[in-house]
Amino acid sequence: MSLAERGFNIVIIDLHDDAAARDTLAALREKGAQAAFLQGDIADIDNHAQLAQAAWDAFGGVECLVNNAGVAPVELADVLSLTPENFDRNLNINLRGNFFFAQAIARLMAQAQNEETHRSMVFITSIAANHVSVAIPEYCVSKAGLSMVAGLFALTLAHTGIQVHEVRPGFIRTAMTTQGEGSPTEAIEAHIAAGHVPMNRWGEEGDVGATVAMLASGGLPFSVGHPVYVDGGYGIHTA
């Protein structure tokens, strides 16, 4: 919603054209944005070129790609019990899929060569990129890898004027963290109550959205690649 409030038109890519997608499109349009839906699987790399072109054509170009496709682990498991199947599923979406879809969009952006248009890419990683959580090893590996991907794209594209950023959220209240068997809601609330989050609250989706919208709008004109934390101070190193 924050991007719509900033005047961006939005293309949503998701697996399912369902009620949730339609509700999101309606909410974006209420904010005054044009909004389109594309059905696609980010893990299906063979379809990336077609999907990227469709996103590009929807509104005549892409000013910002937000790489936020991600899934939680199928089940909690440490490194001694994690299966290759569950490891591959997580990395195929969170890391491999995001890498190659970003590549497809970056190629289109680089070809456009329009100096009057601010273009950017934002990779949504996690505090799991540099905080070890032994019950979700595949997720930690995927987000640590995606952080490196953000840096690689940032340095590769900086000279073209395409700014690449990493947003590293902390404990954000989403369906992933509050719904379903094995959700970490109680553990997170205990962590917050114990004072580990200096701002003493959950993060909300709007906190991440506002940060992404600021970056997409060119709000950090001389910064690329470094993680921007949205974690209420959780990641601050203390003595």
Domain positions in the chain are: 62-230
The amino acid that residue 175 corresponds to is: A
Q: Which pLDDT score is estimated for 182?
A: 58
Query: Which of 235, 227, 225 lies closest to 203, judged by CA?
Result: 235
Name residues whose C-beta falls within 8 Å of residue 202's C-beta, 6 or more positions apart in sequence. 171, 172, 173, 188, 189, 192
pLDDT mean across residues, the chain:
93
CATH number for region 62-230: 3.40.50.720
Q: Which pLDDT score is estimated for 80?
A: 98
Burial per residue of 76-114, b for 16 or more beta-carbon CB atoms within 10 angstroms, e otherwise: bbeeeebeeebbebbbbbbbbbbbbbbbbbbebbeeeee
Q: Which pLDDT score is estimated for 181?
A: 58
Q: Which pLDDT score is estimated for 101?
A: 98
pLDDT digit string, tens, across residues 35-48: 999 999 999 999 99
Q: Which pLDDT score is estimated for 175?
A: 77
Q: Which pLDDT score is estimated for 179?
A: 67
Q: Which pLDDT score is estimated for 22?
A: 95
Taking 70 as the pLDDT cut, the residues of the chain under it are 179-183
pLDDT digit string, tens, across residues 70-106: 999 999 999 999 999 999 999 999 999 999 999 999 9
